[in-house]
Structure 1
Amino acid sequence: MNSRAPARPKCSSSAGVATSGKDIAAAIERLGHRRSDVKRVVLTHFHEDHCGGAAEISGWGDVTVLAHRLEAPVIRGEKPAPPPLFTDEERVLHRDLGAHPLPAAPACRVDRELEDGDTIDFGGGARVIHTPGHTDGSIAVHLPRSGVLFTGDTVAHVNGQVMPGVFNLDRSELLGSFRRLAEIDARLACVGHGQPLPDARAALTAVAATLPA
């Protein structure tokens, strides 16, 4: 039997909706950790399904909340969130989803404002990649040592289909950010919505080649 204590979790890249705190804590405990082991919450963007639980999690202990400089005023509640510009297909999808509205994200402090190229001290050095389009300050986080890429909502992997994210502020910028992520040497992508994506670079490159210029 391995008697070594499990490694402590140091970072979360999504805080879920405002009611997610209990479920996130339970998931952490199932992994053999405690919620007080969480030391950083890295928010990829301000949408309520990604930062809604951040305010609660930030109170679990010595937790640092990180987000891009352009997202921070919205997350703090200092600035209203700009609405997405829907395509015709997205307008229908959003209307259907509107039957199940998400709770608003409580304002949350941001302790560190990030910029493109910054390094976060976890996972052997996590690199911040600015990926505007879904929101102005959306980010991805790349762990070169392990080959893992957290894409935020720039990438989705739903029902076996890899695609650019929907409900964007600027779809053209979003597609450019998708292409940028396709250039990263990532073995596994953890996407904003859907299942993790193995052989990530090949999968993203194949989709990027089909996107309009």
Structure 2
Amino acid sequence: MDKHTDLSSDIELDMEHAVVEEITADVALYRTLVSNVYMLGKPTDKNWILIDTGIAHYHERIIAAVEKRYDIPPKAIILTHGHFDHVGSAKKLAKYWNVPIYAHTKEIPFLDGTSQYPPADPTVGGGLLSLLSPVFPTDAVNIKRWVEPLPEDGHIPFLADWNYIHTPGHTPGHISLFREQDKTLIAGDAVSTENPESSLAMLLPIIKLYGPPAYFTHDWEDAEQSVNILASLDPKLLLAGHGLPMQGKALEDGFKKLIADFHEIAIPKHKRN
């Protein structure tokens, strides 16, 4: 992998923090400060992709994590959506690796500088992250040079065994990724496996199925429908944008409870109209 001299020393320093957790032989997790980054492909694969990019200024650590696992850069970056904690390092990573960024067509206006997300709602959830949410960036990023629409047929470029599913609600163009052969689901922020409003949950995670982060979710009807779609896939392994992997009976029971009690578990009782 070619290195740019201005980043090489920073990447070397970040190597000790670049802890990559192998979930399966061809799925790896790197937990950034706020959200999760996933790598799809075995270490020997020539065609592998990166899912999401964490917050801004995290590109050195992500590059270091990638270089611990792979000898070559990804073929592409796939964004589940464009919120700041998933797209923050996308531009610098795409530039460093010279690779395209793919997103759903309905998400691209938030990625090419033309649209902004609605402001966060600090009145929901009750946790510290909800209270801090007004300072989270909502301004449109501009990665127009790099971003391309995903194929309309649900195909994931470079990965024949994966497909994406449009799961709006948290954002208009939010997607989840699914592999039918082993029923692995990468859900982005359609659901979470830690309390998405709690900063303490990031330090002391307790695996439980929650809805999407409430302070940034603006269409709860779509969000509920997306959860139902994901549950209907009968996933055996869930990898969310926030929280630890979830599988087995806990996952099955978690989806059943979330569907049955979605309004109580996910939708804030006091939310901004």
Q: TM-score, normalised by structure 1?
A: 0.83
Larger proportion of helix: 2
Q: Deviations over 1:59-101 (max 9, x none)?
A: 13341211011111211112222334x4843376445335985
Is contact 1:136-1:169 (8 Å) kept? no
Alpha-carbon shift at residue 9 of structure 1 (Å): 5.9
Distance apart, 1:176 and its partner CA: 1.3
Q: Deviations over 1:136-183 (max 9, x none)?
A: 111111122332111010110112221111220112221111111111
Amino acid at match of 2:191: V
Identity across aligned pairs (percent)? 26
Deviations 1:9-31 (A, max 9, x none): 61111111111110101111222
- SS of the equivalent of 2:67 reads helix
Matched, 1:211 2:262: yes
Change (3 A) 1:117 1:190: farther
Equivalent residue number for residue 27 of structure 2? none
Label 1:39 to 1:206 Cα distance change in 2 as closer, same or farther (>3 A).
same
Unmatched 5+ residue regions in structure 2? 1-42, 195-205, 265-273
Q: Is the 8 A contact 2:116 2:139 kept in 1?
A: no
Of the three residues 131, 154, 165, the one matched with 2:167 is: 131
| Structure 2 Cα separation of the partners of residues 196 and 153 of structure 1 | 13
Report the residue type matching 1:47 in the other structure: H
Cα separation, partners in 2 of 1:68 and 1:103, compared to 1, 3 Å: closer
Q: Which moved more, 1:6-15 or 1:201-210?
A: 201-210
Equivalence for 1:18: 56
* TM-score w.r.t. length of structure 2: 0.66
Alignment of 1:163-174 (within 5 A): 163-166=210-213, 167=215, 168-174=217-223
Task: Give the aligned residue type for 2:125.
Answer: E
Structure-2 residue corresponding to 1:178: 227
Q: Residue 178 of structure 1 aligns to a residue in which SS?
A: helix
Q: Contact 1:154–1:177 (CA<8 Å) still a contact in 2?
A: yes
